[in-house]
Structure 1
Amino acid sequence: MKKLTIYICCAIGIGMASSCKKFLDEKPISVSTDLTFWKNESDADKGVAAGYALVRKTLNKADGLAFYAYGDLPTDEFASAGSYRFDNVFRMEWAISVPSAETWDRMMQMRRYDTFYSAIDQANRCIKFIPTIADDKFASAAAKNNLLGEAYFLRAFNYFYMTRIWGDIPLVTQTGAITEAVDLPRSKAADVIAQCLSDLNTAINLLSWDYANSGNRAVRANKGAAYALLAHLYAWQGDYQNCNATTDKIIDQNYYQYVNRDNYLSIYKGKSTEGIFEIAQSDENEGSVGGIANFTLKSPYLTTNTGNSIFPLNINTLNTLYSSTDDKRFKTAFALTNSTDPLCIKYSNITYVNGQNVITAVAHNNIIIFRLADIKLLKAESLAALSQFDQARAVLNEVRSIAGLGAWTGTNANLFEGIIDERGRELFLEGHRFYDLVRLGKKTGIMKFGAEKMTKADFDAGKYYWPLDPALMNINKRLTQTPFWSSKL
């Protein structure tokens, strides 16, 4: 039998996490135990929890930084990235050679999709086996439906995230197709998106708005999380009619409320009134000993770093985005702004552990995937794309108002770009900027990555899609390289 086509790393253990919450401690269900495991609601819950844990492992790969390295590091938010391989990620030098044996290498980890497929395999397993559990083994029909809906959401989330990174990717919806070493070619991105749409519509029909356990708010999927993912999927496609209608499903429900911008940092501790979907790692028994806090903070916000920040912010971008001194987000979420090394302190909820005479900093912040302001601005973006300018301005100005800013004064011709800029202010260092700039480029042709990173010609040729690591192609001979990178790697 061949080696696994899609190399699967099924061991759970978030690389940079010091410990994790009970529902994220569950191990993935192995094939050998499927026939004996799925007996009741508790088993189903453990199976779904393992899926969330594998998502967290994926977003924390590459020294706990993958979520931000994909979504923020290659953008205008940073001036440089003074760390091995992350400097190449920052400059979009994604074809740099890495020895195939160095699986620890940050660039190799960024170019591989192994852990995504671990999470997908777990979701496939839940989708297959939860319906086989007798209804009377659940507290209610709603409980069974919610667990199944979460599994469909998780599969859609992983596939959407991957197709934004690589474009065409192998598509697997059956258990065993991954683990039985079947050679799988890359499916067209449109086919992957179609599967995501199908899964999300199923999830929406199964999920409820409320959580059975209030402690699961935002860190497990509900109907709002599924609608949020669906809205982003439509925006990525450029289907702004459906994106606008989907954002209304969330907004009209009135289930989420803005956090007061004077208390802006509370969002990043997690489970705020604004949070729609997050990756849990902020509780006392959770936390990251590396990750984004380690790379963007310094003393006095990170006392273990008495030098400069490893990833210095782009001062020109800060001055452009936050030109008004009245912006509460800038006042609250940034520090040392008059220095040559200003900081974003969204992820500064840190405790210190003293062990064997070594002080270790542990950051307690959730990874915020979707929140209300994000969805509001996605609606404004949709309305601008549909030339409904007055309505778009009204939503944009709502977000600006709670941040302490006046109405936006640009022209209709510049409104779409202005909303992307507002997303840059509101969602700075939250994993959105790269994808926002891709949508800006697709819609308007405006490039804000920096010509030294990606020219318009590069963009049109698809440079914003990542290459596959050659190690994957050595395992699976049916894979082909991402077109832009085919002659470079």
Structure 2
Amino acid sequence: MKKTYKLLMAFCLLICGTGCNSFLDENPVSAPSNENFWQSEKDGNAAVASMYALLRQALNNGLFHYAHGDLPTDIFSTDRDIGGAGDFNQIQEGNWSIAVPAAETGREMMRNRRFDYFYNAIVQANTCIANLPKIPAASFDSNYETSIRHFLGEAYFCRAFAYFYMSRVWGGVPIVSDDMGNTLDMANYPRATAEAVLDKALADALLAKQYLGWDNVSTVDKTVRANKGAVLALLAHIYAWESDYANCENAAKELMNSNYYSFASRNNYTDIFKGNSTEGIFEIAQNSANEAALSMIGFYTLKTPYLTTNTGVSLWPLDTLTLRQTLFDNPQDLRVRNGFAFFDSADPVCLKYRNLTYSTNSTVSVPLFMSNIIVFRLSDIALLLAEAYAYQGNYNGAKDLLNRIRGLAGLNATQATNDQLFEAVINERGKELFLEGHRFYDLVRLAKIKGVYRFGSGGSTKITASEFNRGKYYWPIDPLLIANNPLFAQTPYWSSEMQ
């Protein structure tokens, strides 16, 4: 899988746009390791910007963030086909082994089985870590020591984030050399173990924590650039995924106790998804005209009058049983009243991604979706802390945080007993973080910890207990990757399942 990194960078930036406000408007470009590039603070900023642009490309490619985090869950029913051409219906049903011809690289199934997109960001982070210290201090308009440390912290964060994200999807993936230059060549890399990948993500996140402060280098771009809050949120999620809930508690408490973030009003609930809300911790920037996505989650989940180009039903119909009985059984929930339309109909619509505009030429009106991908926000971390408390038997602490989130939504205190509390927290995460790319990973933790398997609705089961215990919750890698690198072994569950 040898590719010229400069060409890949140009391609990725063409796909995902230039970026966010003043930061990514620097027109990030490939950051070569030669001495002619690393000459100024602006060069460093452009190189750092490229990492975020490449993460955006990875999470948007094939709607990766939502295709992995939401589609294969009880939010969508196997009884209701997912529309809009492509492989999304197979993805939501858990049929991840279908054959895709090697030439059809644009197919959603192939895109969602490929991890190489994330390595573009990893190699860019490696390049930044190796070369940022070479920039002359005299070239900085800001404080050199503060800015260079923050740049380096962002690089370690982005690399940690990419490894962690891949580890949740595939388990074991290659760990590339930290000193890899500006050529992406994984031909000699096997897949590392899932444990080794998580260890790498954790080590990088801890390094990022040493470098990053609370105040970002830019207040305008505060949620789309990593700071200490972003790395603490990442650490809390890494520890929770490892079932290390003592350290998850420590990271989440440090973030919560900082009082750096505050909960947004549920009366204006959908404003969170425009980006840069008071509770936003880390987001993928898409809320300006030059970042807006043509085929974002809103394209598949909205309909008229919120998406005027779709006068029919939602392309991704929500499972009404899960929606109205498992999750939102109280219609007075402010997240229902302000976050959904047509809630009691056969085709309810989530309004989180209705922030869009239209680009119109003489014949066609094209919707441009301008909602940020909200990766981490305060409610997420509060409920993750409640999860850590419930796991460790601190039931009063878990209930206090759970009821705080419920109170924001206008709901009464939980009636869950102590032995029901862990699942109750996961259930509340399903309400609060509905269609935000968390549900699948939350259900994996629930299955691991409590042996409760909720990958379906009614009589449909996308991952049975037996399949889960054999590792079906990890994705296969696309056969094209294996063809290009014989050292790659297929994900164990899928080794006999691939078509």
Residue in structure 1 matched with residue 71 of structure 2 by the alignment: 73
Unaligned runs of 5+ in 2: none
Residue in structure 2 matched with residue 41 of structure 1 by the alignment: 41
Which of residues 336, 340, 356 in structure 2 aligns to 1:334?
340
Matched AA of 2:213: S
1:465 aligns with 2:477: no
Q: 1:248 Cα deviation (Å)? A: 0.7
Partners of 2:126 and 2:181 within 8 A in 1: no
Which of residues 458, 475, 485 in structure 1 aligns to 2:484?
475
Q: Give the distance between the partners of 1:150 and 1:185, measured in 2 at CA.
A: 27
Q: Secondary structure at the match of 1:216?
A: coil
Residue in structure 1 matched with residue 131 of structure 2 by the alignment: 129
Q: 1:14 Cα deviation (Å)? A: 6.1
Partners of 2:40 and 2:139 within 8 A in 1: yes
1:116 aligns with 2:118: yes
Q: 1:22 Cα deviation (Å)? A: 5.3
1:153 aligns with 2:129: no
Which of residues 335, 353, 370 in structure 2 aligns to 1:364?
370
Q: Deviations over 1:170-211 (max 9, x none)?
A: 001222396345410001111111111111111111111112
Alignment of 1:46-195 (within 5 A): 46-62=46-62, 65-79=63-77, 80=80, 81-83=82-84, 84-138=86-140, 139-140=142-143, 141-172=145-176, 173-176=178-181, 179-180=184-185, 182-195=187-200
Q: Residues 20 and 392 from structure 1, CA distance in 2 versus in 1: closer, same or farther, beyond 3 angstroms?
A: closer
Alignment of 1:286-297 (within 5 A): 286-297=291-302
Q: 1:412 Cα deviation (Å)? A: 0.9
Partners of 2:283 and 2:372 within 8 A in 1: yes
Q: Give the distance between the partners of 2:334 and 2:404, measured in 1 at CA.
A: 14
Partners of 1:220 and 1:277 within 8 A in 2: yes
Q: 1:325 Cα deviation (Å)? A: 2.0
Q: Give the distance between the partners of 1:488 and 1:178, measured in 2 at CA.
A: 33
Q: Residues 265 and 188 from structure 1, CA distance in 2 versus in 1: closer, same or farther, beyond 3 angstroms?
A: same
Which of residues 418, 421, 435 in structure 2 aligns to 1:429?
435
TM-score of the superposed pair, with normalisation by structure 1: 0.95
Q: 1:12 Cα deviation (Å)? A: 2.5
Matched AA of 1:456: A
Q: Residues 60 and 21 from structure 1, CA distance in 2 versus in 1: closer, same or farther, beyond 3 angstroms?
A: farther
Q: Residues 17 and 126 from structure 1, CA distance in 2 versus in 1: closer, same or farther, beyond 3 angstroms?
A: closer
Q: 1:354 Cα deviation (Å)? A: 1.5
Q: Give the distance between the partners of 1:50 and 1:5, measured in 2 at CA.
A: 16
Matched AA of 2:267: D
Partners of 1:286 and 1:364 within 8 A in 2: yes
Matched AA of 1:237: E
Q: Give the distance between the partners of 1:194 and 1:19, measured in 2 at CA.
A: 30
Q: 1:479 Cα deviation (Å)? A: 0.5
Residue in structure 1 matched with residue 210 of structure 2 by the alignment: 205
Q: 1:6 Cα deviation (Å)? A: 11
Q: 1:285 Cα deviation (Å)? A: 3.9
Partners of 1:5 and 1:476 within 8 A in 2: no
Q: Secondary structure at the match of 1:486?
A: helix
Q: Residues 284 and 181 from structure 1, CA distance in 2 versus in 1: closer, same or farther, beyond 3 angstroms?
A: closer
Matched AA of 1:447: Y
Q: Residues 181 and 229 from structure 1, CA distance in 2 versus in 1: closer, same or farther, beyond 3 angstroms?
A: closer
Mean alpha-carbon deviation: is it higher for 110-119 or for 174-183? Answer: 174-183
1:397 aligns with 2:388: no
Q: Residues 8 and 161 from structure 1, CA distance in 2 versus in 1: closer, same or farther, beyond 3 angstroms?
A: farther
TM-score of the superposed pair, with normalisation by structure 2: 0.94
Q: Give the distance between the partners of 2:415 and 2:127, measured in 1 at CA.
A: 51
RMSD (CA atoms):
1.9
1:438 aligns with 2:439: no
Partners of 1:170 and 1:184 within 8 A in 2: yes
Q: Give the distance between the partners of 2:45 and 2:181, measured in 1 at CA.
A: 21
Q: Give the distance between the partners of 1:482 and 1:178, measured in 2 at CA.
A: 26
Q: 1:5 Cα deviation (Å)? A: 11
Q: Secondary structure at the match of 1:146?
A: helix
Q: Give the distance between the partners of 1:406 and 1:202, measured in 2 at CA.
A: 41
Q: 1:142 Cα deviation (Å)? A: 0.6
1:277 aligns with 2:275: no
Q: Give the distance between the partners of 2:168 and 2:4, measured in 1 at CA.
A: 21
Mean alpha-carbon deviation: is it higher for 342-351 or for 285-294? Answer: 285-294
Partners of 1:40 and 1:137 within 8 A in 2: yes
Q: 1:415 Cα deviation (Å)? A: 0.5
Mean alpha-carbon deviation: is it higher for 263-272 or for 137-146? Answer: 137-146
Q: Residues 177 and 440 from structure 1, CA distance in 2 versus in 1: closer, same or farther, beyond 3 angstroms?
A: farther
Residue in structure 1 matched with residue 454 of structure 2 by the alignment: 448
1:230 aligns with 2:235: yes
Partners of 1:168 and 1:187 within 8 A in 2: yes
Q: Secondary structure at the match of 2:36?
A: helix
Unaligned runs of 5+ in 1: none
Residue in structure 2 matched with residue 258 of structure 1 by the alignment: 263
Q: Give the distance between the partners of 2:7 and 2:419, measured in 1 at CA.
A: 47
Q: Deviations over 1:124-151 (max 9, x none)?
A: 0001111222333332211110011000
